[in-house]
Structures are given as C-alpha cells and as structure tokens.
Amino acid sequence: MARAGQGEPTTCRRERSERAGGAVAPHEDRIRASGRLPRVGAVVLQSFSSGLPLGLVWTLLPAWLAYRKVDIKTIGLFTLVQLPWSLKLLWAPLMDRFSPPFLGRKRSWIIVGQLMLVGGLAALAWQARSPDVAVVAGLALFIAFASASQDIAVDAYAVEVLETHEQGVAVGGRVAFYRLAMYLSGSAAITAGALWGWPWIFAGLALIFVPMIGVVAASPEPARLPPPPRSLRDAVWEPLAGIFRMRRAAEILAFVLLYKLGENLATSLTKPFLVQHGFSPWDVGVAAGTIGLGATLAGTFAGGLVSDRLGLGRALWLGGVLQSVGCLGYALVDRLGGPIGHSPIDVHRLAMYLAVGSEAAFQGMAAGALDVLLIRLTSRRFSATQYALYSSFFGLGRVIVGPLAGRLVAGFGWTPFFDLTIVAAIPGLVMLQRFSPFGSAEPLVEPAGAETAAPELSPAGGEES
C-alpha cells in the first residue's frame, strides 16, 4: 500500500501542478497558432542531426582512410578524435549558465553547434580532393567537438520541453532518427562515396544541416523556462549537489551504472563470437546491420510506449528482466555450432538471426525505458550538465566490461560466459527495487535539485506566480 501522497510519482504531480490554471494548454495553442513544430516532433527531428556526425566519425572516416591506403596504425589513432563525446561534461555547465542572444537558451546553442558542423564538413569536403592526414585528423576532432556540443544542447532541450506524458514516444522517435542518421552518414555514405566521389559526400552531409537549422528555428520554446544559474560556480556545483540531495541518490546512481551491465558484458564480444563460430561477413552484416538495427528500433519504441501505457517502473522491470535473459540465444547458438553450408534456411543460421534479433529488441526496450528515466531525473534548470553527467556515468558500464569479458570467455568458454551475464544483471535489478518496487507503476523519483529549484520563468521572461 502506498502512503498518502505517494499514489503517483513526484514528476506526475509536478507536471499536473504546472498545468494548473491552464498554464500549459494555452502554450500548446500558441504553438499550433504560430506554425511551430509540436514538441515531440521537434525533439525527434533534432536527434537526426545528432546522429549524422557520429556515423561520420565512427564509420565513414576510418573506411575512407583505409581506401586511401592510410596505415592501419594511423587509422587506429583516429579513435582518439571520439574523446569529445566522453568529455562533454567539462563544458556542459557553460551551456546552462550562458546562451547566445537569439532563439532561446538551448536552441541557440544547437544552432551554434550546427553552424560549426557545416563549416567543418565543408572544409573536409575541400580537403578530400587531396587529403593530408594531419589536417583530416584536426578537422575530425573539430567536428567531434562541435557534435558533442550540439548533443549537449539537443539533450538539454528535450529535458526542458517535453511533458511527462510525451517522454516515452519521444524517446522511441529519438533513437530511430538517431540510428537512421548514423546509418546514412556511415554505411550508406561509404557506398555512395565509391560511386560519386568523397568530396561530394562530405559536401552533401554539410548541406543536410541547413534544413536542420530550420527545424531548430521552428521548434517551440519550453512552456516555462527555469532561470539560468547565477554564476559559473553554481552551474558546475549545483547540478552535482542536486543529484546527491535526491532521495536514494546512491541507489539511483548505482542503478544507472549497473542496469545494463549484464547486457553490455554479453554484447561486447558478440561479433567475435559469431566470427569464431564460422559465420561469414555476409551473415554478420545481415544480423547486425539489418535484423539487429530493426529489432533495436522496434524494442526502443516498445520501451517508450510501455513507459507511457503501463508506467515507467513496469517498463524498467520488463526491459531489465528481458535483457538479462536475452543473450541465452547465443548460448543456444554455441551449442548448435556454426552454419551448415550456404542455405539461408539453415537451422543454425536461422537460430543465430533469432538470437541477434531477440537480444537487440530486448536491450532496445530496456534502453528506451532507461532514457525516459534519465530525462525525468534531470532538473530543467541544469538540463545540460545533469543529463551529460548521467549519460557519462551510464557509459562507464560499457567501458569496464570489455577487458573482463575477454578473460571470462578465455577462462570458462562461451556458454558459461553467457550464463554469467544473467548473474551480472541481478545487481541492477536489486538497485531498481530500492526506488521502484516490483509491480509499481512509477518509480519514486524527482528531478535532481527540484526541491531547491528557483522560480520558473515564462518564455517572455517574467516570473511565474
């Protein structure tokens, strides 16, 4: 039995109180009357511009350099240009404290990042005619920095503008458009580059950002705008202090780190597992690039919809349990062995496709629910810094499992390894029980620092009564 006042989560009560007196509905009417994009549509479309640079840096540039016969050791060093995505927390407070003098606090930062990307990609297109590896490396680092800065502002805008009932479907759309953009600027761009030439591909990617700037300009401002931090010190210190003032802060942070630990452990070696069992590059490409991608998108949409329809707490539990057993399909593939012949209806090959698809769908469902939780945990006043902090903390789980996974496989073999991933998922579920008991519709959480938040401002800049 819930205690009085706990029949619904704090976030739902907060949203309802914000709507009291018709505060939000008139804002929705103003959005429609002004011809601006709906909130969910704006958030989803903005995610497309976040995915484009990632596919370029992670997939396209290494392939392009390989085609240019650049030494593999040099290509390996290009992974260092990905550092800005890991270090973006360092300058996120600047985006909470300051804003360019146009279009609103976060939308203006998004456009600054996009203009930087247009310039970097245009320079890369010019350089592609006769590339110098050192110059390409410098441009790649600049593009990564601009992209990470854009991501900070895009995520912060989503936190500020979305109402609680919109978060689930928005997360599903965000992931779908993000992955689509990564595919277009990665694998699809590699194929097109061989046909049309690399300078045209880089120039085309730069031009894509021009309509994306229009999307940002047409995006609505939040119904209420929290005032910015009073100083840069507050922008750095208060987001962190607000997190640790949350009820059960330690359990929630441990959950963010551990929720996908088992799944990250299993999937860190999925491709080597398939290669070792004799599956061809075609098999692996179909499994990961087609079946896996489609299943991930479907699972993420499902996680967001379940969050809306059944409650975020139930979505987290459902996704957590399913992802913990999702890798058992790989244990079955290990027992069956590799493919027999080249028939597409080979039972072993079909079992592998089923294992990849089910694992991707389950981890997508869990990821969708987790992203909704991170949005709800983030204070709108410190949206840039806190969301960057949560996402960086979550990313630690992927980093720490890599070296451990290889040793476990070498010591125990593949099937015991996949069995151990179920055990690795248990601590995250234990932490989930601490703030969202099994069966509860909603977790008992509130945005970090909400209890000390300053009065919110209307878009016009006046303080709300």
- For the stretch 42-80, pLDDT in tens is 999 999 999 999 989 888 888 888 888 888 778 877 778
Which residues contact residue 142 at a Cβ distance below 8 angstroms, ignoring those fewer than 6 apart? Answer: 116, 120
pLDDT tens-digit series, residues 179-189: 889 888 987 88
Output the pTM of the full model. Answer: 0.79
- Helical H segments across 259-292, by residue range: 261-267, 270-276, 281-285
> What is the rounded distance in angstroms from the CA atom of residue 28 to the CA atom of residue 298?
29
| Same domain assignment for residues 356 and 431 | yes
Residue 453 has pLDDT above 70, yes or no: no
pLDDT tens-digit series, residues 98-108: 989 888 889 99
Q: Could you tell me the two tokens for 9?
A: 């989560």
CB atoms within 10 A of CB 301: 20
% of the chain surpassing 90 pLDDT? 37
* HSE (side-chain half, CA atoms, 13 Å) at 81: 27
Closest by Cα among 244, 236, 240 to 96: 236
Residue at a domain's end among 225, 242, 258 = 225
3-state DSSP: the chain helix, strand, coil percent, rounded to 5?
Answer: 75, 0, 25
Residue 1 has pLDDT above 80, yes or no: no
Q: Give CB contacts under 8 A, 24+ apart, made by 127-136.
A: 128/64, 128/198, 128/199, 128/202, 129/199, 131/68, 133/65, 133/70, 133/74, 136/61, 136/65
Residue at a domain's end among 159, 190, 225 = 225
Does residue 401 or residue 348 have the better pLDDT? 348
Please give the tally of structural domains in the chain. 2
Cα–Cα distances in angstroms (integers) from residue 459 to residues 118, 223, 341, in the given order: 29, 7, 64
Look at the block and give the residue holding tokens 């979550």: 394
Model pLDDT, residue 264: 85
| Cβ atoms 11, 445 nearer than 8 A | yes
| Same domain assignment for residues 268 and 178 | no
| Same domain assignment for residues 307 and 408 | yes
Closest by Cα among 158, 219, 53 to 384: 158
pLDDT tens-digit series, residues 189-218: 888 887 888 899 999 999 999 999 999 999
| Cβ atoms 369, 428 nearer than 8 A | no
14 belongs to a structural domain: no
15 belongs to a structural domain: no
Model pLDDT, residue 156: 94
- Helical H segments across 184-287, by residue range: 189-196, 198-217, 232-245, 249-258, 261-267, 270-276, 281-285
456 belongs to a structural domain: no
183 belongs to a structural domain: yes
Does residue 393 or residue 386 have the better pLDDT? 386
**Residues of the domain holding 125:** 37-225
32 belongs to a structural domain: no
Model pLDDT, residue 402: 67
Residue 462 has pLDDT above 60, yes or no: no
| Same domain assignment for residues 337 and 271 | yes
pLDDT tens-digit series, residues 274-291: 888 888 878 887 887 788
| Same domain assignment for residues 359 and 244 | yes
Q: Could you tell me the two tokens for 288?
A: 């990961």
The values of phi and psi at residue 463, to 5°, are -75, 140
> What is the rounded distance in angstroms from the CA atom of residue 171 to the CA atom of residue 176?
9
Query: Which CATH number covers residue 339?
Result: 1.20.1250.20
- Give me the DSSP letters along 331-387: HHHHHH-S--SS-TT-HHHHHHHHHHHHHHHHHHHHHHHHHHHHHHHS-STTHHHHH
| Cβ atoms 226, 66 nearer than 8 A | no
281 belongs to a structural domain: yes
Does residue 393 or residue 178 have the better pLDDT? 178
Residue at a domain's end among 196, 225, 254 = 225
Is the four-CA dihedral 428, 433, 434, 435 of positive or negative sign? positive
Residue 448 has pLDDT above 70, yes or no: no
Model pLDDT, residue 199: 92
| Same domain assignment for residues 307 and 445 | yes
